[in-house]
Structure 1
Amino acid sequence: MSRIHVLDSYTANRIAAGEVVERPASVVKELLENAIDAGATAVTIETKGGGLESIRVSDNGIGINADDVATAFLPHATSKIATTDDLFSINTLGFRGEALPSIAAVSKVTMRTKQKDAANGVLLRISGGDIIENHEAGVPDGTTIECEDLFYNVPARLKFIKSARAESAHISDYVSRMIMARPDIKIKLIQSGRTVFHSEGDGELDSAIACVYGNDILPNLREIYYDDGYFNLVGFIGTEQIGRAARTAQSFYVNCRYIRSQKLSYALQRAYDTRLMQGRFPFAVLHIGISPEEIDVNVHPNKLEIRFRHEDRIMGPFVTQCRKALEQTEEDLTLDFNAPEIKKIVYVQNEMPSAAAKDDTMKRVADMAFSQRDESRIELSALPAEAFITKHDAAPAYAMHDKESAKTAHSEYVGDRTAGTPIIPPVWQEIRKAEETAYIEADEKTAPQQAKQEEAYIPQPKVEIPKITPVQQRVDFTQYEIIGQLFSCYWIVQHDDEVIFIDQHAMHERRLYERIIERDIPADSQQLLTPEIIKLTPVEFALLMDNIDRFSEIGFDIEEFGAMSVSVRAVPVIMGKTDIKRFLTDAIALFDAKNKLTTIDMKRGALITRACKSAIKAGERISETEIRALLDQYDKEGVPLTCPHGRPVMARMTKTEFEKLFKRIV
């Protein structure tokens, strides 16, 4: 008897749906991207029960032709590509033709759609992949898709779905990324009747960032604008003051598509170099504009990963421009967040496209106009060429800023284009600055391996480096000579035949931490005179509320305060005068990373924070008497050799190493 058989369509469709629809957030992602591809200028997302009960996405886009509505739910039905060649010039967020049939296979779907010039719209109902209703109906222009009882026919998947709050957080997180991907679109998110986000849709990236993270973050942003003809880089990165304990505050976009990229994240970390403490990660919202022919977005069904054809032409300038942005001083900054002439992402549409324009050639957002192709197929989300003409007409559709330089560059770049003639990008400069040629080969697994790979691309002088090693064993400081202080941060002490370098902040921090532990301070609360209102990201908010009891155990009094915000009324006594928001976000990041954080872990975190804030700072000059007192206490109290964060307190260099350095011995 044959053991191999062909699966029936019912089973096959549910297996295929599992790749596309992993959780409610996957449904929101696909429907929101379809709305954007349809030229919508306003999109409203409504969810109940974390998206499991219902998801409703309404847009004012072009709508779907009545003859194409049922076809849209067939597997691999799409208006966005026709041949494999189209995969290398994709200008839309969607293209696989899998979203609608996958969603319909595992839920009960109702679609209402109408094109602007049509007399009537269409109402379509599908349950478990089967059409149960399809007829004309009076509906507004655009498209509304409602998905109910998600996974009702796949109970095995429901077992792996987290709480409604957690699923809502995933939805909020993705919507927030898309708000910053398309600041020109008004995006509204309503969860269980409460408005979470409502973006302005004014085309200003800083406005979108403020919608997601709050206005308080704006003064700590540094602007980036770069265009070399091959790609452009625009957006904002944060100062060291808003570094996070995880990479969750990093958003990267390629041609307005949100992506996850370890390589870009590592490159960003490299730009900060020693500006951030170990375990801190930068804030960033960065857009890359590049020809669709230079990237591959068909890596995974979720389309969150892409490949660059020439990574070395991107990573070097990426690091350089981020570094330049960080080097700006307050006096250098020309960015005024209240100025009317603020540079913005320009996507302004002249008018809503008509149904008659459905066979026109598309000009998409982030399309660098490298190719033209016929779109006369099932036009689920087609747009006419004029739909995304910019305010200035001289700027390319992908241009993020309306700078004069961008206009000039674009005119040189495009020239006199004739219909059907592809634009050839300018020849890459043969000689680049050394910094830009140092391509960062980001490792996909670990940061240490990443660092080794980076070094392979950076010319290193062949100089024998003296061996300076962290002190592993205790040093007897009964006999020593203080040589002096270096960089207002490190003390140089001669001890026998070696030199000891001491980090004054790390040593003092460790001593304070040990003394606080000895006092055994109880988990009492300290009431704040004025409650502190803290705005969190969707994921942070969900994690905090799910673990609110643990925060209460160590002395916090926290209450929900509107959408994605909390009111802190009391803090643990052990925290002292520390940054409340930073402590909360750091603790939440540990929840997210470990998926489990004990009360002991949180108490330890509070103690470390207090010790760190109270300790002598790097750059703070102290007297020789004070450092002698520190060394004497270190010697008597048996203070450990690392700070509470795990960094070494001391490093040593022997007399022999000095003699090797000066070629006295070989």
Structure 2
Amino acid sequence: MGDIRILKDIVASQVAAGEVVERPASIVKELVENSLDAKATRITVEFFQAGIALIRISDDGVGMDREDALLSLERHATSKLSTARDLESISTLGFRGEAIPSIASVSKFRIVTRRREAAAGTEVLVNGGRIEAVRESGEAYGTRVEVRSLFFNVPARRKFLRGPQTEAGHIIHQLHRLAMANPDVAFIALREGKKFLQLAPTKNLAVRVRDLFGLDWIGRLIEGESLEMNGLRIRGFLSQPGRGRADRSEQFIFVNGRPVVTSAVSGPLREVYHTLLPKGYHPGAILFLEMEPALVDCNVHPAKREVRFREPTAIAETVRHFAQQALAKNRSSVLITETREASLTPSAQPQLVEPIKSSVVRNPLQIATLTQTQMVSNAVAAKGAAPLPMPSSPERRKEPQIFLSTEQMEIKNLLDSREIVVIGKIAARFAILEGHFGMVVVDLRAARERILLERLLREMKQGQANAQVLLLPVIIDLPPRDIAWITENIELLERVGISIECFGGASVKVEAIPASLDQANIEQLLVRLIEDLTRGGIRSGNRMAEEAIARSVARLASAEALPTEPERIEALILELLRCELPYSCPMGKATMIPIPLSELKKRFGCDP
């Protein structure tokens, strides 16, 4: 007997479920799409324990009779395709007939359905893929699906799920996408029995976006005029110039009503915004693309997240033209252009090298010798000027033994034994130190990052970082995934000085921030912090989570205005040299680079 065998139907369905049912949010997506295909005008979604204990989807769609209800549990049974040619003109969200049998194979499944004209409905109970009961039901017309004890028969799958807040965040994200794609459908959503989303049907997309994300969020968008070009109709919103994120979580792209991810749209958007956003950032977008079904292939991804266009170049050209047209008509983009042009006039050009004219800094600065213990001497100040104070004895501590690179040893030796002078700065960021040996260039921003990081870590070791309480709490609207991350990491954020709590479904309330941060734009700072940490996969269970948060806060705080006064530059350099690891910033980049006199002579071809 050979080794190859045909899998049993239940096993085959569980294998298929590995592609269709990635997590509870996948089930919500598939079942809501079925409701939309059934022409529902009202959909209710309920879930408990992030969808593991229960997911319940109810709709007022066309419903099914007894025969169709049973057939829907068979693999590859669908009402949306009949021949292979139908794949070339798919107009529904579902079409493969895999979702329901796959979901039923890994859960305790119940479906109750009734057609509007039928006197009675049908109830089917399924346990791990096996039908246990089929009976009449007196439920209202439409369909109700319940999924309980997800992955009860495949416990290994449960181990790969994230925390409850993260999984709930994915469910809410899917609901937002589907609700945005169908503003004419009413949505109600409940979590642990509490209603957190209620959307009335509307024909105005802006109203649906406002109801989902709030007035502040939609106020940051530009509405583009509907454009028809290359057989494509495109409409929607784009973010204002200067507003973006390091990920694409604020890009919502719909092709013929289907939420998708495609570089044929995100790529042209990035090209149009490349001079309007920092490097690595992506614009926000809510775009609806409508075209003939034959021009797009939806059958290229197991979860139908990606699509393939027949003419991707034409799609990219149309998206690019739509974005350029929207930005050209936006007044804020004109103001930004005028500001940029004004800043580049000759009178406003910054000096590349700015000398420091203070007599205090011009005097030799006897940088304290960087011994294995600490700095043991102070700066020699100008005549008549008070010397910089040395750290008091309680602050003195032994420096850990560290293996230094050749360049770091060179800096250490030069600073240990020489008198140096701060002679100027370059581009308002780099300080130049001169000595008999040559010079050292100090990156002031990298130096401040290192100082702030070590300060935060010391404070956190003592219990909690110093925080500044806001006079008035700040309410910030955030996407569901960000809310989920914050909820899971509130204790960590408090230890670093951020006092924050959830404030409604899509909002948080910030009451305190680290003392080193500026209060001017708390929302932007919080979003940047979340982006940095979520990209790094930082969670409360990670061993290095606290240090990662402190590193991100230090980097954000260092982005504020750098010191320009000679005394502050001098003080910053002295504080850097007191750090345990003064030679690199938290990201591992150098804080100081030595340029010995011998190297300068060599480069200029001078005699030794």
Place the TM-score, normalised by the shorter chain, in its bin.
0.7 to 0.9
1:94-133 equivalences in 2 (<5 Å): 94-133=94-133
Q: Is 1:233 matched with 2:248?
A: no
Name the counterpart of 1:538. 480
Q: Deviations over 1:275-311 (max 9, x none)?
A: 1012322111111111100010001221111000001
Q: Deviations over 1:632-666 (max 9, x none)?
A: 999999999999998999xxxxxxxxxxxxxxxxx
CA distance in 2, matches of 1:108, 1:524: 50
Native 8 Å contact 1:557 1:568 kept in 2: yes
Q: Deviations over 1:465-505 (max 9, x none)?
A: xxxxxxxxxxxxxxxxxxx975845545699xxxxx97557
Q: Deviations over 1:32-84 (max 9, x none)?
A: 00000010111110000111101000011111123311111111111101011
Name the counterpart of 2:171. 171
Q: Is 1:606 matched with 2:553?
A: yes
Q: Is 1:322 matched with 2:315?
A: no
Native 8 Å contact 2:532 2:552 kept in 1: no
1:566 Cα deviation from its structure 2 partner: 1.9
Question: Which residue identity is paired with 2:467?
Answer: S
Name the counterpart of 1:586. 528
1:372-411 equivalences in 2 (<5 Å): none
The structure-2 alpha-carbon separation of the partners of 1:36 and 1:533, relative to structure 1 and needing over 3 Å to count, comes to same
1:540-579 equivalences in 2 (<5 Å): 540-579=482-521
CA distance in 1, matches of 2:317, 2:152: 49
Name the counterpart of 1:273. 274
Name the counterpart of 2:381. none
Flag the structure with larger Rg. Answer: 2
SS of 1:184's equivalent in the other structure is coil
SS of 1:570's equivalent in the other structure is strand
CA distance in 2, matches of 1:250, 1:52: 28
1:586 Cα deviation from its structure 2 partner: 1.8
CA distance in 2, matches of 1:51, 1:68: 26
Q: Is 1:514 matched with 2:515?
A: no
Name the counterpart of 1:257. 258
CA distance in 2, matches of 1:642, 1:487: 34
Name the counterpart of 2:162. 162
Q: Is 1:48 matched with 2:33?
A: no
Q: Is 1:292 matched with 2:293?
A: yes
CA distance in 1, matches of 2:5, 2:15: 16
1:196 Cα deviation from its structure 2 partner: 2.7
The structure-2 alpha-carbon separation of the partners of 1:143 and 1:12, relative to structure 1 and needing over 3 Å to count, comes to same
CA distance in 2, matches of 1:645, 1:311: 41
1:300-315 equivalences in 2 (<5 Å): 300-315=301-316
User: How many residues end up aligned between the 2 structures?
Assistant: 486
Question: Which residue identity is paired with 2:282?
Answer: F
Question: Which residue identity is paired with 2:513?
Answer: V
Name the counterpart of 2:15. 15
The structure-2 alpha-carbon separation of the partners of 1:554 and 1:287, relative to structure 1 and needing over 3 Å to count, comes to same
Q: Deviations over 1:487-529 (max 9, x none)?
A: 845545699xxxxx97557999953563575474752011111
Q: Deviations over 1:438-473 (max 9, x none)?
A: xxxxxxxxxxxxxxxxxxxxxxxxxxxxxxxxxxxx
The structure-2 alpha-carbon separation of the partners of 1:515 and 1:132, relative to structure 1 and needing over 3 Å to count, comes to closer
The structure-2 alpha-carbon separation of the partners of 1:11 and 1:569, relative to structure 1 and needing over 3 Å to count, comes to same
Native 8 Å contact 2:125 2:132 kept in 1: yes
SS of 2:509's equivalent in the other structure is strand
Q: Is 1:73 matched with 2:15?
A: no
Question: Which residue identity is paired with 1:325?
Answer: A
SS of 1:64's equivalent in the other structure is coil
Question: Which residue identity is paired with 1:511?
Answer: L
Question: Which residue identity is paired with 1:108?
Answer: K
1:203 Cα deviation from its structure 2 partner: 2.4
CA distance in 2, matches of 1:634, 1:156: 53
% identical aligned pairs: 32
Native 8 Å contact 2:114 2:122 kept in 1: yes
CA distance in 2, matches of 1:82, 1:647: 64
Question: Which residue identity is paired with 1:132?
Answer: E
Question: Which residue identity is paired with 1:609?
Answer: L
CA distance in 1, matches of 2:132, 2:449: 68
The structure-2 alpha-carbon separation of the partners of 1:197 and 1:263, relative to structure 1 and needing over 3 Å to count, comes to same
SS of 1:559's equivalent in the other structure is strand
TM-score by length of 1: 0.67
CA distance in 2, matches of 1:643, 1:203: 50
CA distance in 2, matches of 1:513, 1:94: 52
The structure-2 alpha-carbon separation of the partners of 1:524 and 1:35, relative to structure 1 and needing over 3 Å to count, comes to same
The structure-2 alpha-carbon separation of the partners of 1:506 and 1:184, relative to structure 1 and needing over 3 Å to count, comes to farther
The structure-2 alpha-carbon separation of the partners of 1:251 and 1:540, relative to structure 1 and needing over 3 Å to count, comes to same
Native 8 Å contact 2:109 2:148 kept in 1: yes
Structure 2's unaligned 5+ residue stretches are 335-343, 356-424, 433-441, 460-464, 539-543, 593-608
CA distance in 1, matches of 2:475, 2:331: 27
Name the counterpart of 1:481. none
1:583 Cα deviation from its structure 2 partner: 1.9
CA distance in 1, matches of 2:561, 2:333: 32
The structure-2 alpha-carbon separation of the partners of 1:126 and 1:575, relative to structure 1 and needing over 3 Å to count, comes to same
1:627 Cα deviation from its structure 2 partner: 11
Q: Deviations over 1:579-617 (max 9, x none)?
A: 22222222222232111273333333333333433359x
CA distance in 1, matches of 2:77, 2:447: 65
Name the counterpart of 2:363. none
Native 8 Å contact 1:297 1:307 kept in 2: yes
The structure-2 alpha-carbon separation of the partners of 1:4 and 1:290, relative to structure 1 and needing over 3 Å to count, comes to same
1:493-504 equivalences in 2 (<5 Å): none
CA distance in 2, matches of 1:229, 1:277: 31
Q: Deviations over 1:92-135 (max 9, x none)?
A: 00000111111111111111111111112111211122222222
Name the counterpart of 2:420. none
Name the counterpart of 1:215. 215
* Higher RCO (CA < 8 A, seq sep 6+): 1
Q: Deviations over 1:159-185 (max 9, x none)?
A: 212222221111111111111111111
1:577 Cα deviation from its structure 2 partner: 2.6
Q: Please report the RMSD computed on the Cα atoms of aligned residues, expressed in angstroms.
A: 3.5
CA distance in 2, matches of 1:14, 1:581: 44
Question: Which residue identity is paired with 1:303?
Answer: K
CA distance in 2, matches of 1:276, 1:575: 22
CA distance in 1, matches of 2:184, 2:570: 62
CA distance in 2, matches of 1:66, 1:23: 29
The structure-2 alpha-carbon separation of the partners of 1:587 and 1:493, relative to structure 1 and needing over 3 Å to count, comes to closer
Native 8 Å contact 1:197 1:211 kept in 2: no
Native 8 Å contact 1:608 1:645 kept in 2: no
Name the counterpart of 1:193. 193
The structure-2 alpha-carbon separation of the partners of 1:563 and 1:159, relative to structure 1 and needing over 3 Å to count, comes to same
Residues 302-311 or 276-285, more deviating:
276-285
Residues 260-269 or 96-105, more deviating:
260-269
CA distance in 2, matches of 1:645, 1:289: 47
1:245 Cα deviation from its structure 2 partner: 2.6
Question: Which residue identity is paired with 1:305?
Answer: E
SS of 2:550's equivalent in the other structure is helix
CA distance in 2, matches of 1:505, 1:318: 39
Moved over 6 A (4+): 505-509, 626-649
